[in-house]
Amino acid sequence: MNPKRIILIVLIVCLNFLRYAESHQQYATTGSGPLEQHCFLFIPYMDHNIQNRDWQHGNDQKDNGGWEEMSFRSIKIKDRFVYFVVSSELEPINPYEGLGKYGGHNLFDDNPATAWVEGVKGQGTGEYVIFKTDKQFPQEIQIYNGYQKSERLFKLNSRPHTLLISLYAGIYLEGDDTEITSRYRVKQITEPSIIELDDRMGSQCFDIPCNAKNESQLKDSIIKVFREDFREEIEQRRKLCPSCDLTPRFSYFIKMEIRDVYEGSEWEDNCISGLSYTNNPVLPSEMMLSKPAKIINVYEDDDPDAGRILVDTDRRKGILLIDKKQLKEYEYLDDNQHMSITLMAVSPDKEWAQVDLMFYEKGAGRVEEYSALFNVRMNRRVSDTLLKTIYGVFGFVEKDGKIWLDTADGYIDLDKIREALRDE
């Protein structure tokens, strides 16, 4: 672990002990960890459920502004981390000793033969899962309803008939971690909506019930509000650790609550076998069909400060390919840093785009610049590991009936890059 991160964690723990000593307040929770009455930031819960509690501000920040504090279980599944909290689970075990057979992690393992099974008496109405999506707006969710290990188990167990869906914005500050959880401050940003599921096996897809038209403005507004609401805490942390990165890191979260059920023929246990989401289903759904859409144009937004690159097809215009505020580099900018993106080159077949990222400080003459490669049809950025070079990229060339990326290290075979993207 990074030494700065360790220092920040220790300092935050100390800060919270001091707050407790000043306030002598008790923080209600259903957990049973030995430190729960003494430290309200890093709590080693000894039961499965990582509960959410209201965050307490300093003396001049009594109002939490609608924020909730939630500690999400963080687990690495197939080379990616998932963050979630469930209200209950069947046959829970000590989370420090492993994962339960019917835990919430089963929702994200891409295996319909496993399932999250709630653990309360009755049909499980009111039980829920909240999970982190990404810093990009989640537009579609895919649900594998019921226990899909077999048709027999599907019918024997209960499964949701209707779900209440809510969208949250969440902010993370570096150091807000325990061994198995990460803490976020979350704020609900949509009114809940009901979706109705079919009583069948297989996957079912639903649009997220929220308009993402002004997503960038929404994200900026949420971060601004967070900085103001938690101004005192951020300042205290910065005094304790001036070199620590206290940039608020934004993500979306989805809450799914069971409202009505299809009753099982034998058991009341309510089950869901899988969840996934997509940030931008427009490109895959329109351009990856058996008869793919024709890409007409790839271009920068008319507003030069927007930092957006768009795509026109023969079916739709203005499809978002890149928003600089959704790039990983933008998330980690310092307060005095700025970033711009430029569409440098588009391949002759319009399947690929080279975008240059530039970083600078106002009044400073030095500018850092490097390139990123995007597959337009897949709406995917090629990872630096796969591309192997970000400096010295010179656009696209046609040779031997193929299109290549021209770099200082030689030509890169884009067909091989495309196949690697499909395998990821």
Winning range, highest mean pLDDT, from 249-258, 328-337, 371-380: 249-258
Interval 4-18: pLDDT, tens: 555 555 555 555 544
Read off the pLDDT band of 3 (50, 70, 90). low
Only one residue has tokens 């999400």, namely: 72
**77 pLDDT higher than 50:** yes
Q: What is the mean pLDDT of residues 393-409?
A: 92
Interval 150-195: pLDDT, tens: 999 999 999 999 999 999 999 999 889 998 999 999 999 888 999 9
Confirm if 297 and 376 have CB atoms less than 8 A apart: no
Q: What is the mean pLDDT of residues 85-113?
A: 94
**Residue 305 contacts by C-beta under 8 Å, 6 or more apart in sequence?**
none
Domain boundaries along the sequence of the chain:
3-278, 282-423
Q: Select the more confidently predicted residue: 373 or 306.
A: 373
Question: Among 15-24, 170-179, 267-276, 356-365, whose mean pLDDT is lowest?
Answer: 15-24
What pLDDT score does 160 carry? 97
C-alpha–C-alpha distance, residues 291 and 297, integer Å: 18
What's the topology of domain 3-278? Jelly Rolls (2.60.120)
**223 pLDDT higher than 60:** yes
Q: What is the mean pLDDT of residues 232-256?
A: 91
Q: How many CB atoms lie within 10 A of CB 240?
A: 15
Interval 200-209: pLDDT, tens: 999 898 887 6
What pLDDT score does 302 carry? 87
Beta partners for 128? 257
End-to-end CA distance of the chain: 27
Q: What is the mean pLDDT of residues 310-317?
A: 85
Q: What is the mean pLDDT of residues 138-146?
A: 88
